[in-house]
Each structure stands twice: as C-alpha cells, then as structure tokens.
Amino acid sequence: MTSKEKVMRALRHEPGPVPVDFGSTGVTGIHVSCVAALREHYGLPRHPVRVCEPFQMLGEIEDDLAGALGSDCTGVGGRTTMFGFPNEGWHEWRTPWGQLVMVPEGFRVRSDAGGDQYLFPQGDVDVPPSGHMPASGYFFDAIIRQEPIDEERLDPADNCVEFQPLTEADRAHWRAEIARVQGSTRSVTGGIGGTGFGDIALVPGPFLKHPKGIRDVNEWYVSLVERRDYVHQVFSHQCAIALENLAEFARIASDKIDVLFVCGTDFGTQNSQFCSVATFDDLYAPYYRRINDWVHQHTTWKTFKHSCGAMRPLLNRVIECGFDIINPVQCSAKGMEAAGLKADFGDRLVFWGGGVDTQQVLPFGSPSEVAAQVTDRLETFSPGGGFVFNTIHNIQARTPTANIVAMVDAIQRFNDRGG
C-alpha cells in the first residue's frame, strides 16, 4: 500500500494502517531546530535547513527525512510567505539560538541592541517592520501597525487589499508545484490562500507594507460584534475572489492534490470559544459553505479546517459547512477528550492531528510517556479509519529529539502489529 493509498483509505473512513503527516501544511510542521536535530539523529546528510515558513520558523521536511519519519503526506505551498516575499533566492542566516539556516532572499532582518530581530514585509527595509522575534525567542510575532480608526471613514476595501485574483506569477508557481509532486507516492495537500475568513494570524497584515483598515487583533474581535456589516462586506469580497481563484487552481491542480487546506481561523481557547454558535452561523458559516460546496461539486478534494482550542460546541457546524477534516484536534482543551470526539464525530470528520500533546507531553514528558500517549491516541482515533496522525499543531523548538523519535517509533510499532 502506498502512502497515498493509506491516506485515501483514512479519508474514506476505512480501516487500515494509520497514515502520518509531518510537514504538508503550515500547521503540521516541525520547527527548524528540531528538523536539523532529526536529520542528525537519522544519519542524514547535514546541511543548513531551509526555513520554509518564517513566521513559525518551520523547517523543510525533505524526502529523506520524510521517509525516516514515516510521513505519508507532502504539500504544495503558496508563492509567498506570511511576510509577503517568495521562497526563493536562498541564503544563510544565523538564528538567535546559534543555528545556521537557509532563508529566502526577502528575509531581511535588523537587530536591536538587545538582540531582538525585526523582519520586514515583502523584504522592504525602508518600511516599518511587521515581524518581531525576541532575542530569547524561536519564531516571529506579528507587529500590530494599526492606524488610528475614524469610524466615519472606515472602508471595508482596506481589509480586502490582500484578496486579489491570481496573477501570472501565481499561476506559473502553481504549475511548477504541481509538476514537482506529480507522480509522488505520497498524498498531496495544497491551499491557495484567501479562504481563511478572519484568520487572526493574517488580520495584522504582516505581508503588507502599510496595512489599512482594522488590523489590531483586539479591534478585530470587537468588530465581530460592533461592526458586523463591515466584516460581512470583507468576507463577501474575499469569498468571491476565492471562488474565482479556486476555479483557476483546480484547472492547474486537477486530481494531483487530494486535500485542500481551506481555513486556519482559530475559534477555540483553552476553555471556551472566541465566538458563539449563533455568531458562527451568521458570520462564518455562509462563506465556508460556499467554498466547500464549490470544492465538492467541482473536484474530488477533501477540505481541511484548522482550529485550535475547545471546538466541540462548533464541530457540528463545521460538519454542516461541508468540512471533511478537522485539525489540530487539541485534546487538552475543554471538552476535547479523544474518546468523546471519536464517539460523537468520528463517522463524519477525519481527525488530522491529536496524536500527542505538544504543550506538555511531547516537550516535557519522558520518551516512555510520549510513547504511551501516542499509543493511546492511536488506539482511540484509528478504529474504522478517519484518522491521520499528526501532533497537536507544529512541533516546537527545544522539543527533545528522543521524544520525537519515541513518537515515531510508537506509530511504527502500532502499524506493524496491525493496530
């Protein structure tokens, strides 16, 4: 059975070996420091690892490491990064923690006297920076660059400038990406961007030189209540452009991808939700439904929804909107116990994640504790299919290599004995 066949069986809710994903998306990846450590552990050629996603400082999972980790998935990425510059023109950069990595040409940073790093939108050092990494940090935070708000002059178009039709450069990029994965034995995940309504990581516009509109995170959440008509206008424009772009992307990708990453908007905290079910129904569901309906009517792709946190009260709505897959399955959040999720939603949703806790167990537990939780999650989520193993969100910096290896070995043992 090929890797792709394993994934497709899981997506059809059929029993079989549990497929694994490390690195096919920006929410299923591994921090660049851990990628380098894993390459060394598995005796793979040592070289500076590419930072394929600079916002979270995720490292590229090359084919040799994907094979060592048993990963069954690969991804086709967008043309530009979260900071608006392309992943091209690679050069070396020394991180604050001392690792030599490869970064794109547009990755241009300035340091302050304390060693903090500042990254610039579209690589333009003549505008204010949009990303900040503390000297003791391991990834970038978006810098809020909210202009003073004049309620009488607020224009939804200012929050729509990032949603544009695909350019010829975009189309050329996608043709090259699809050609790269054509014939791969792994399952392919892709995403065009612009389909994650209200994704709070994107609201500040780290890819824009001079963001206008509502760009402060707190102000955006206020707007869900106080300026709902404004937000509807933004989402409506965004959805129209997204549907046009999806049609073009489908002509290029056709059946060469299996899963479409639709949405990275978080709706859950550790203990609750960012919005009520009623708000979700009014403000988000209509647009998600249009995207998912189009995908299911015109392609064979399964649709992937990412949301951290306590999502249980919204999961029926997620299903009704047409999503096939939920990630990262944060089992440590309130109401997200693995057995209950499997019992109540396992026949209607594919759980892509939930394999091990990345807040406590994977970074701070012992290898035996990691293996025990991984095995327990496999036994809970895998019966009847509908499960793709991934950690709960990305593997973070300073996670012990021995613990990551214990996780990988536990998956292999589980599949070797037939579940």
Encode pLDDT of 344-398 as tens digits.
999 999 999 999 999 999 999 999 999 999 999 999 999 999 999 999 999 999 9
Helices (H), 310-400: 312-320, 338-345, 361-364, 367-381
Q: Dig out the tokens for 336 from the structure.
A: 């997200």
pLDDT of res. 419: 79
Average pLDDT over the chain, rounded to an integer: 97
Read off the pLDDT band of 203 (50, 70, 90). Answer: very high
pLDDT of res. 418: 87
**DSSP characters for 237-277?**
HHHHHHHHHHHHHHHHHGGG-SEEEEE----B-SSSBSS-H
In the chain, % of residues over pLDDT 90: 99
Q: What is the model's pTM?
A: 0.97
* Residue 29 near residue 395 (C-beta atoms within 8 A): yes
In the chain, % of residues over pLDDT 70: 100
| Domain spans in the chain, listed from the N-terminal domain onward | 3-416
Strands (E), 112-172: 117-119, 131-133, 141-142
Whose structure tokens read 């479409």?
Answer: 260
- Tens-place pLDDT, residues 218-273: 999 999 999 999 999 999 999 999 999 999 999 999 999 999 999 999 999 999 99
Whose structure tokens read 């500042």?
Answer: 118
Read off the pLDDT band of 286 (50, 70, 90). Answer: very high
Question: What is 3-416's CATH number, 3.40.50.300, 3.90.550.10, 3.20.20.210, 3.90.190.20?
Answer: 3.20.20.210
pLDDT of res. 15: 96
